[in-house]
């Protein structure tokens, strides 16, 4: 396995651009692709702003910022990622979308390229089986926001070989982050624990036990959480929370993972949290206001 230097990232949303930033800062050459030209432009602009704030805080020098930005390239053509040593798929949490990306990308990849998915819940073994390289396929799950969060979950499918795993352990170390290895079970470790807590918080709201503000304040002050569960759900995206709960419910067959009807209703309404300006809070004003 040759050393990793060129990294392709599919998806220029919040996760993809965060992943691009940390790789560029660690000295990797990054090529970021998306179907939206505007998303790519915003990803580059946001990365530059983020690095500018790090310069202001004396965490980076101006020269290091400029060097990192030079290492970030963009393209609308996913096939241009073909010469990457490592590809990270960071598209929306829908299996059909991920499979379509792999189908378009695979004919152009080198035989030794490692292919990974940033999926937060989907079966790595099943995704790997849709590719031509299950032994060089892994789950590579970064936490949001990527530049801030220390953890990266590494998930091996049933066919993932030891060389691929060890290579990604080395990549995580070079990024200055910490790897946690998870078996290939629905939602892995973090979301297996986190999402049922968020879902239970939504049930607590749904059943009238407490208001949005009371629930979030209780967990922040009573359990020392930095964000309340409903505030966190808005930050993650209620559609993503619902998708992960559905994976848990379908994959494990336990009623304790049944998504709360109120969570379903908010997603049906398009109230997905911060990214749409409304979820459990209304973000149209300077100070978020609870919607219930």
Point out the residues that are catalytic: 120, 141, 153, 191
Torsion of CA 239, 244, 249, 255, to 10 degrees: -70
195 is in an annotated binding site: no
273 is in an annotated binding site: no
Interatomic CA distance for residues 129 and 281, integer angstroms: 40
Cβ 31 vs Cβ 74: under 8 Å: yes
170 is in an annotated binding site: no
16 is in an annotated binding site: yes
Cβ 215 vs Cβ 228: under 8 Å: yes
Q: Can you read off the two tokens belonging to residue 237?
A: 């995206």
13 is in an annotated binding site: yes
Interatomic CA distance for residues 191 and 153, integer angstroms: 11
15 is in an annotated binding site: yes
21 is in an annotated binding site: no
Question: Rounded to whole angstroms, what are the CA distances from 82 to 10, 23, 87, 135, 213?
Answer: 12, 18, 9, 18, 48
| Angle of the 229-236 helix axis to the 190-206 helix axis, nearest 10 | 120
11 is in an annotated binding site: yes
162 is in an annotated binding site: no
120 is in an annotated binding site: yes
As a whole number of Å, the end-to-end CA separation of the chain is: 54
Backbone φ and ψ for 237, nearest 5 degrees, come out as: 110, 120
**What pairs with residue 141 in β-bridges?**
153
59 is in an annotated binding site: no
Question: Rounded to whole angstroms, what are the CA distances from 109 to 131, 205, 264?
Answer: 11, 48, 38
Which positions make up the binding site? 11-16, 34, 93, 98, 120, 144, 275
Which positions make up the binding site for NAD(+)? 11-16, 34, 93, 98, 120, 144, 275
């Amino acid at each position: 396995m040759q050393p990793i230097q060129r990294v392709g990232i599919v998806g220029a949303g919040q996760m993809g651009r965060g992943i691009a930033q940390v790789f560029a800062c660690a000295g990797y050459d990054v090529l970021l692709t998306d179907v939206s030209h505007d998303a790519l432009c915003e990803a580059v602009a946001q990365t530059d702003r983020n690095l500018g704030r790090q310069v202001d805080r004396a965490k980076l020098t101006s020269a290091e910022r400029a060097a990192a930005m030079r290492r970030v390239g963009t393209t609308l053509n996913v096939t241009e990622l073909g010469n990457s040593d490592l590809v990270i798929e960071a598209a929306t949490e829908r299996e059909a979308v991920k499979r379509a990306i792999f189908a378009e990308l695979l004919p152009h990849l080198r035989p030794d390229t490692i292919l990974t998915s940033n999926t937060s819940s989907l079966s790595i073994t099943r995704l790997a089986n849709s590719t031509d390289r299950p032994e060089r396929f892994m789950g590579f799950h970064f936490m949001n926001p990527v530049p801030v969060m220390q953890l990266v979950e590494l998930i091996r499918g049933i066919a993932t070989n030891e060389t691929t795993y060890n290579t990604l352990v080395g990549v995580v170390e070079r990024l200055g982050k910490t790897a946690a290895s998870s078996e290939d079970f629905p939602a892995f470790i973090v979301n297996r624990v986190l999402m049922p807590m968020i879902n239970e918080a939504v049930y607590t709201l749904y059943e009238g036990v407490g208001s949005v503000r009371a629930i979030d304040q209780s967990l922040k002050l009573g359990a020392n959480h930095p964000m309340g569960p409903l505030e966190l759900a808005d930050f993650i995206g209620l559609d993503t929370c619902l998708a992960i709960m559905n994976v848990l419910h379908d994959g494990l067959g336990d009623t304790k993972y049944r998504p709360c009807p109120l969570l379903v209703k908010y997603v049906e309404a398009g109230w997905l949290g911060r990214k749409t300006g409304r979820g459990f809070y209304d973000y149209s004003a300077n100070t978020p206001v609870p919607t219930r």
